[in-house]
A = this chain, B = another copy of it.
Amino acid sequence: MPDPDVTLAAIERARERIADRVRCTPILHNETLDTLLGAHLSFKCECLQQTGAFKARGAVNAVFSLSDDRLRAGVVTHSSGNHGAAVAYAARLRGVPATVVMPTNSSAAKFDAVRDLGARILTCEPTLTAREARAAQFVAETGAAFVHPYDDPDVIAGQGTLALELLQQQPDLDWVLVPVGGGGLLSGVATAVKALRPQIRVIGVEPARADDAARSFRLGSLVPYQVPDTIADGLRGALSERTLAIIRQRVDEIVTVSEQGIVAAMRTLWERLKVTVEASSAVPFAALLEAPPAMREAICGRRVGIVLTGGNVDLKTLPWS
């Protein structure tokens, strides 16, 4: 297993690099939800971030970390979701062409978002193998720089900037809850939080139907990947050796939530916080709503930071309608 290679210093450099290019997103509070959980909740609203998701942070940091020479042929990535739009956004800011390999079953809204940001789209079969192969082929043909959705120290450092903001906005947190898919966000957040406030408990949350991170975390090595079937489409990725190593070292716990719990949490956040979070975003809050008695008791009176990761949803097909 490689040593974790993302440091607080890298995250602080990332913050400077991306400062004028992404938003410092607001924190929302809600008394009704606080009363419901018996805790003080601080929701970090990355759904209000550029491109509608925290992914802009990592993509901008990665693209702006590359040399002009390395970017001569532009950048490429593969993504069915928010990372594609984030790379398109970063490339547009940098003034280089972006290509996004997208599976044919991506939603029309995702295609539109990437296209509206000026990126070229290449479609492929909806499997991880096909995506990776198409992107690798494009790199071989053109020399474009590949920006991985999470297995990249610059991407992880960019995502970690979210935690620097959160700790500044809400210095007195006891817990931080973060969704986990490929683990880029959780790695970046845990690195920043444990370096600055080691007493804060960092908890990853993932759908029970996509629990590879929880199992890999317990086992200490990557479990075989199977495409998971969960409404939280942003969390279908699997940990890499790199993110597993960081998470094993810096994350306290990974818990899982049910599909019904995710939908209930999503709806409650829409109704109470008035933000259109996507299903993946609702996963950490679902962990609080579904908390077993021991966890419910443990959070009582605590100050809990919750990362709402994105807000890109198809309004025509809401899961409760």
Asked if A270 and B274 sit within 8 Å, CB to CB, the answer is no
Contacting residue for A270 out of B31, B116, B271, B315, CB 8 A: B315
Known pairs A26-B26, A274-B52, A276-B275; A267 contacts B315 (CB<8 A):
yes
Q: How near does chain B come to A70, taking the closest CB pair, in angstroms? A: 26
**A48 at the A/B interface (Cβ < 8 Å)?**
yes
Q: Residue-by-residue, is A44-67 near B (CB-CB < 8 Å gives 1, otherwise 0)? A: 000110101000000000000000
Q: How near does chain B come to A292, taking the closest CB pair, in angstroms? A: 26
Q: In the complex, A315 Cα to B271 Cα: how many Å?
A: 7
- Stoichiometry, copies per complex: 2
Q: Residue-by-residue, is A20-46 near B (CB-CB < 8 Å gives 1, otherwise 0)? A: 000000101001100000000000000
In the complex, which residues 265-301 of chain A have their Cβ closer than 8 Å to any Cβ of chain B? 267, 270-271, 273-277
Contacting residue for A48 out of B270, B274, B321, CB 8 A: B274
Asked if B321 and A316 sit within 8 Å, CB to CB, the answer is yes
Shortest Cβ distance from A52 into B: residue = B274
Q: How near does chain B come to A240, taking the closest CB pair, in angstroms? A: 29
Contacting residue for A274 out of B267, B311, B318, B321, CB 8 A: B311
